[in-house]
């Protein structure tokens, strides 16, 4: 079972930093002895959320930043991915298929989206630490 640990990281919202964010979160969770699952579920969700921030958060403007934080509790992980972009707005010219949020909803125990005080987007995702209760195992 994972040890109680907190992680915070921040990157410029450019495509090459999506993989860097995912690897950084996975390294932290491995160091905290997090089981898999949920480790692979978290990695996938962080990739999808960070990709959304990079792809959708800064349309028509210079890239800002996105941040990932992880709080490991007694029974679950809380993962936040937040950007300082323009928020969740419809994009008829979207380069993706719109599968990121449904995929996150599938692998996370639960998730919520919020608008930050600055107008950006915050995705809050929770994952059970017990491998037997992990979303994709059931």
pLDDT digits (tens, 9 = 90+) for 6-32: 999 999 999 999 999 999 999 999 999
The position carrying tokens 């898999």 is: 36
- Are 112 and 49 in contact, with CB atoms under 8 Å apart? no
Indicate if the pLDDT at residue 138 is higher than 60: no
Report the Cα 91 to chain-centroid distance in Å: 21
Residue 51 and residue 47: Cα distance in Å, rounded?
Answer: 6
- Are 50 and 98 in contact, with CB atoms under 8 Å apart? no
* pLDDT digit string, tens, across residues 58-115: 988 899 999 999 999 989 999 999 999 998 776 677 666 578 899 999 999 999 999 9
Phi, psi of 124, deg, nearest 5: -110, 125
Q: What domains sit in the chain, N to C, each tagged with a CATH number? A: 6-89+97-133 (3.30.565.10)
pLDDT at 122: 97
Residue 116 and residue 109: Cα distance in Å, rounded?
Answer: 22
Indicate if the pLDDT at residue 1 is higher than 50: no
């Amino acid at each position: 079972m994972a040890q109680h640990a907190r992680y915070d990281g921040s990157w410029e919202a450019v495509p090459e930093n999506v993989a860097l964010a995912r690897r950084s979160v996975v390294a932290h969770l491995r160091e905290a002895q997090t089981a898999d699952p949920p480790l692979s579920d978290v990695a996938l969700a962080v990739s999808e959320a960070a990709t959304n921030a990079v792809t959708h958060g800064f349309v028509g403007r210079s890239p800002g930043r996105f941040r990932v934080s992880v709080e490991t509790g007694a029974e679950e992980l809380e993962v936040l991915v937040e950007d300082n972009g323009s928020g969740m707005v419809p994009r008829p010219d979207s380069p993706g298929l719109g599968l990121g949020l449904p995929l996150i909803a599938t692998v996370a125990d639960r998730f919520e989206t919020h608008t930050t005080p600055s107008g950006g987007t915050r995705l809050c995702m929770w994952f059970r630490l017990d491998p037997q209760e992990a979303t994709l195992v059931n």
